Chain A
Amino acid sequence: MSMKRNLLAAVAALSMLAGASAEAKTLKWGAGREIASLDPYSFGETFTLSVLNHVYEGLVRYTGELKIEPALAERWETVSPTVWRFHLRKGVKFHNGNAFTADDVIASLERVTHPTSPLKGNLPAYKSATKVDDFTVDIEVNGPYPLLLNDLTNIYILDKEWMVANDALLPTDSGKGVENYATRNTNGTGPFKIESRRADAQTVFVVNKDWWDKPVHNIDRIEFTPITSSATRVAAMLSGEIDFTNLAPLQDLPRLTASPDVKVLQSNELRTVYMVFNMKDKLVESDVTDKNPFKNKRVRQALYQAIDADAVQKRVMRGLSRTTGSLVAPAIPGYVPDLDKRPPFDLDGAKKLLAEAGYPNGFSFLMNCNNDSLVNEEELCQAVASMWSRAGLKPNLSIAPRAQQTPKRVKGEFDVITFGWATEPMIDTYSLLVQVLHSKSGSAGVFNWGGWGDPRIDELTDKGGVELDPKKRIPMMTEALKIAKDEIIFIPMHQQPMAWAIRSGSVDVMVQSPDNKPRLWLAKVK
Chain B
Amino acid sequence: MLAFLVKRLAEAVGVMLAVALIAFTIFRFVGDPVELMLNEQASQQQRDELRERLGLNRSVPEQYLAFVANAARGDFGISYRNQQDVFPLIAERFPATFELVIVATVLSLLIGLPLGVYTAVHRKSFLAQALQFLSVLGVSLPSFAVGILLILVFSVTLGWLPAFGRGEVVKLGGWSTGLLTKSGLTALILPAVTLSFFQVTLVMRLVRAEMLEVMRADFIRFARARGLSEPAVQFRHALRNCLMPVITVTGLQIGNLIAFALVTETVFQWPGMGLLFVQAVSFVDIPVMAGYLMVVSAVFVAVNTLVDMTYALVDPRLRVDTVGGGHGR
Contacts and interface: CB of A to CB of B under 8 A. Distances in A.
20 contacts: A30-B164, A36-B83, A44-B41, A174-B54, A177-B85, A183-B83, A200-B93, A201-B165, A201-B269, A226-B269, A228-B278, A231-B151, A232-B268, A235-B152, A236-B164, A241-B163, A402-B36, A403-B283, A406-B35, A431-B40
A173 interface: yes
B155 interface: yes
B129 interface: no
Contacts of A34: 279
A404 interface: yes
A352 B5 CA distance: 78
Given A236-B164, A239-B155, A443-B43, 14 more contacts: A14-B170, A34-B279, A37-B81, A175-B50, A175-B55, A176-B53, A198-B271, A225-B165, A228-B266, A235-B152, A239-B163, A403-B283, A410-B32, A431-B40
A238 B156 contact: yes
Contacts of B148: 231-232, 235
Nearest to B56: A175
Nearest to B184: A14
B114 interface: no
B85 A241 contact: no
A425 B42 CA distance: 11
Interface stretch (A74-82, A115-123, A156-164): A115-123
Interface of B: 29-33, 35-47, 49-50, 53-55, 70, 75, 77-78, 80-85, 89, 92-93, 148, 151-152, 155-156, 159, 162-166, 168-172, 176, 180-181, 266-269, 271, 275-276, 278-279, 282-284
B82 A403 contact: no
A198 B33 CA distance: 25
Query: What 3 A-B pairs come out closest when comparing CB atoms?
Result: A403-B31, A175-B53, A121-B42
Contacts of A180: 83
Given A229-B267, A235-B155, A443-B44, A404 B29 contact: yes
A424 interface: yes
A36 B38 CA distance: 13
A162 to B, nearest CB: 18
A429 to B, nearest CB: 14
A179 B53 contact: no
A18 to B, nearest CB: 8
Contact of A443 (B37, B45, B92): B45
Contacts of B165: 201-202, 225
A236 B170 contact: no
Of the listed residues B29, B77, B84, B92, the one surrounded by the most CB atoms of chain A closer than 10 A to its CB is B84
Interface in A439-470: 440, 443, 446-447
Interface in A414-433: 421-422, 424-426, 431
A174 B78 contact: yes
Given A37-B83, A174-B54, A235-B156, A229 B269 contact: yes
Contacts of B180: 7, 10-11
Interface string A328-364: 0000000000000000000000000000000000000
Contacts of B35: 402-403, 406-407, 410
Given A229-B269, A235-B156, A425-B41, A174 B170 contact: no
Of the listed residues A18, A121, A124, the one surrounded by the most CB atoms of chain B closer than 10 A to its CB is A121
A179 B85 contact: yes
B26 to A, nearest CB: 12
B275 A236 contact: no
A62 interface: no
Nearest to B286: A174
A307 B176 CA distance: 55
B31 A200 contact: no
A7 B177 CA distance: 11
A172 B261 CA distance: 31
A201 B54 contact: no
B42 A11 contact: no
A401 interface: yes
A36 B164 CA distance: 20
A31 to B, nearest CB: 10
A45 B152 contact: no
A37 B43 CA distance: 23
Contact of A174 (B42, B70, B80, B152): B80
